[in-house]
Amino acid sequence: MAFTLAHAVHSELLIKKSRFIGCVQPVDGRPQAQAIVESLRAQHPTAAHVCWALMAGGQSAANDDGEPGGTAGRPMLEVLRHQQLEGVLATVVRYFGGVKLGAGGLVRAYTDAVAQALIDAPLQPLVVQAALQCAVPYDAEGVVRRELSASSASLNEVRHESLVHFAFSLPADRAPALKSRIQDVTQGRVVWDATSA
């Protein structure tokens, strides 16, 4: 099972006069992750490095930001992978203290900065969401809304055209039962979007 974080967690380490400020936080994907990294660069203009690792399915990536290759981003990514995290960004801002740590020392420092942040991190099981769309006659709008509410589905959009169009999401394992109930309460007068079939 994969996990994500409920909120951002932080750490700070001082190793041979270098300061490592770590953060691991939930993100939606690479665009949000890159915006956070850019924001950190703006907040820490005198930092030597802003290294990061993103664990987000096909968008996963790691960046050493000028540290020797493989000494920062990749080890940080391995910590996230080992913790079975998904949809998270790890960042470490380093202020250089004048003492070189060597490749092994850098790997340990960046790994520890992420691991320390995760010690008491509130992990949440990652729930895969299904995004569904359907259209029903106007006289069925109320019963569909009640079914969505009863299923704790997130209503993303409602459009009133020749039919009432609903776009909603809910945990994927509950989607088949909800679709069946909507089929029943509308007496089969529901049109599912092809991607929702």
Q: What is the pLDDT of residues 23-45, one digit of tens each?
A: 999 998 899 999 999 999 999 99
pLDDT band at 78 (very low <50, low <70, confident <90, very high): very high
Question: Would you state the pLDDT for residue 196?
Answer: 57
Q: What is the pLDDT of residues 82-138, one digit of tens each?
A: 999 999 999 999 999 999 999 999 999 999 999 999 998 888 887 777 889 999 999
pTM of the complete model: 0.69
The answer to whether the CB of 121 falls within 8 A of the CB of 5 is yes
Alpha-carbon distance of 24 to 5, in angstroms, equals 8
| Length, in residues, of the chain | 197
Question: Would you state the pLDDT for residue 148?
Answer: 94
